[in-house]
Amino acid sequence: MTVTYTARVANARFGGFSQLLLLWRGSIYKLLWRELLCFLGFYMALSAAYRFVLTEGQKRYFEKLVIYCDQYASLIPVSFVLGFYVTLVVNRWWSQYLCMPLPDALMCVVAGTVQGRDDRGRLYRRTLMRYAGLSAVLILRSVSTAVFKRFPTIDHVVEAGFMTREERKKFENLNSSYNKYWVPCVWFSNLAAQARREGRIRDNSALKLLLEELNVFRGKCGMLFHYDWISVPLVYTQVVTIALYSYFLACLIGRQFLDPAQGYKDHDLDLCVPIFTLLQFFFYAGWLKVAEQLINPFGEDDDDFETNFLIDRNFQVSMLAVDEMYDDLAVLEKDLYWDAAEARAPYTAATVFQLRQPSFQGSTFDITLAKEDMQFQRLDGLDGPMGEAPGDFLQRLLPAGAGMAAGGPLGRRLSFLLRKNSWVSEASTGASCSCAVVPEGAAPECSCGDPLLDPGLPEPEPPPPAGPEPVALIPGPVEPFSIVTMPGSRGPAPPWLPSPIGEEEENLA
| pLDDT number for residue 209 | 97
- 25 DSSP 8-state letter: T
- Give CA–CA dist 489/476, Å, rounded: 24
- Give CA–CA dist 461/456, Å, rounded: 15
Segment 327-353, tens digit of pLDDT: 999 999 999 999 998 888 999 999 888
- Give CA–CA dist 23/17, Å, rounded: 11
- Give CA–CA dist 82/284, Å, rounded: 8
Q: What is this structure's pTM? A: 0.70
- Give CA–CA dist 111/117, Å, rounded: 11
Tell me the mean pLDDT in the region 483-506. 49
List, in order, residues 6 or more apart from 398 with CB less than 8 Å away.
404, 414, 452, 453
Q: How confident is the model at residue 427 (pLDDT cuts 50, 70, 90)?
A: very low
| pLDDT number for residue 416 | 57
- Give CA–CA dist 237/361, Å, rounded: 50
Q: Report the mean per-residue pLDDT for the chain.
A: 82
Segment 288-300, tens digit of pLDDT: 999 999 999 999 9
- Give CA–CA dist 143/132, Å, rounded: 17
Q: How does DSSP assign 142-192, residue by residue?
A: HH-HHHHHHS-SHHHHHHTTSS-HHHHHHHHHS--SS--TTHHHHHHHHHH
Let me know: does 48 contact 42? Beta carbons within 8 Å: no
| pLDDT number for residue 424 | 44
- Give CA–CA dist 104/132, Å, rounded: 11
| pLDDT number for residue 402 | 47
Segment 137-169, tens digit of pLDDT: 999 999 999 999 999 999 999 999 999 999 999
Tell me the mean pLDDT in the region 240-262. 92
- Give CA–CA dist 293/280, Å, rounded: 20
pLDDT above 80 for 482: no
Segment 35-64, tens digit of pLDDT: 999 999 999 999 999 999 999 999 999 999
Q: How confident is the model at residue 395 (pLDDT cuts 50, 70, 90)?
A: low
Segment 2-42, tens digit of pLDDT: 888 888 888 888 888 888 998 899 899 999 999 999 999 99
CA angle (86, 89, 95) in 5-degree steps? 145
Residue 307's closest CA among 99, 74, 28? 99
- Give CA–CA dist 452/389, Å, rounded: 10
- Give CA–CA dist 294/94, Å, rounded: 9
- Give CA–CA dist 289/89, Å, rounded: 11
Let me know: does 32 contact 286? Beta carbons within 8 Å: yes
Number of C-alpha atoms within 13 angstroms, CB side, residue 332? 1
Q: How confident is the model at residue 261 (pLDDT cuts 50, 70, 90)?
A: confident
pLDDT above 80 for 401: no
